[in-house]
Amino acid sequence: MLRSATLKLQPAPIAVADNNRLRLFSGSANVPLAQEVARYLGMDLGPMIRKRFADGELYIQIQESIRGCDVYLLQPTCNPVNDHFMELAIMIDACRRASARQITAVLPYYGYARADRKTAGRESITAKLVANLIAEAGASRVLAMDLHSAQIQGYFDIPFDHVYGSPVIIDYLASKQLHDIVVVSPDVGGVARARAFAKKLNDAPLAIIDKRRQAHNVAEVLNVIGDVAGKTAVLVDDMIDTGGTISEGARLLRQEGARQVYACATHAVFSPPAIERLSSGLFEEVIVTNTIPIPQEARFQQLTVLCVANLLGETIWRIHEDSSVSSMFR
């Protein structure tokens, strides 16, 4: 089910009808989210022709004048990553050549974010390459949500705003009034994220799953650091891909005596066999956001999808008005 964000943002609905310098366009990756963002901003999505030629090449044309405008292009670079990324690059280039004053690439999900370092010789740091290509295409600014690693911000030499989906998830969890919560990081690398999440959940205690990965998309879970017996365990991660890490973690938490297990993640990548793993009965609920569109056939009974449109809309408005973005997360 799709739920509206309960994030408490300041005043009355924004109306930008009088402010004709702000333009919002959507790529094909997540049009419903872009429409919700436009609704929050009190405007329509900009008109655009998008078509694919017989040989697979993309054609994009902006259908209104954007000369001197602040243009926001919303496109998560989710599966198929390369198609969606190329579409974003073409949109940026089209806007640059149309004399837009400022072009902001809005990436609710940043593809290739896990390729953020070299772990062996002769590898590409693809997250850095993506950053170079976005800047070279002509973007003046980037807005992204819940990067896999925050260091990716440093790959850009243009302004970068990094926002978090956690306030939406935390508000939803608070509304459920769960008792004896322990926030669990599914691996050592996610401890900082889980600690920040736990602090917002009335300083809930923290547990960590110690894990060693033997190959890509294969996780081996070893043991739990912390007390989870008889408690409601909330597993927190930035994304769920194949679901291996988080389902193995949930199985271990059940063995260690956790009373209930919830999974929370901003990005629902859901590569096979994620659906089978997540719907196997290990979780009371799997809570994600709509940064990536989830097709109907990928939905299951325990899944709850929260909407981050209000959060993105508020961020876009604050960037446009030169207001503070970080104050939204204090």
Tokens of 75: 């496109």
**Residue 211 is a catalytic residue:** yes
Q: Is the peptide bond before 273 cis (omega within 30 degrees of 0)?
A: yes
- Cα 48 from Cα 17, distance rounded (Å): 19
Number of other CB atoms surrounding residue 278 within 10 Å: 24
What are the residues whose beta carbons fall under 8 Å from the beta carbon of 323, sequence distance 6 or more? 317
What are the two backbone dihedrals, phi and then psi, of residue 137, each rounded to the nearest 5 degrees?
A: -65, -25
Tokens of 283: 């979780």
- Cα 129 from Cα 103, distance rounded (Å): 19
Helix (H) or strand (E) holding 314: helix 309-320
Question: 17-43 burial, b for 16+ CB within 10 Å, e for fewer?
Answer: eeeeebbbbbbebbeebbbbbbebbeb
Angle formed at CA 325 by CA 323 and CA 329, multiple of 5 degrees: 140
Query: Shortest CA distance to 6 belongs to which of 311, 319, 284?
Result: 311
> What Cα–Cα distance (Å) separates residue 133 from each residue in 4, 89, 127, 128, 209?
34, 8, 10, 9, 36
Question: DSSP character for 109?
Answer: S
**Which listed residue (118, 176, 211, 231) is catalytic?**
211
What are the residues whose beta carbons fall under 8 Å from the beta carbon of 327, sequence distance 6 or more? none
Catalytic residues: 211
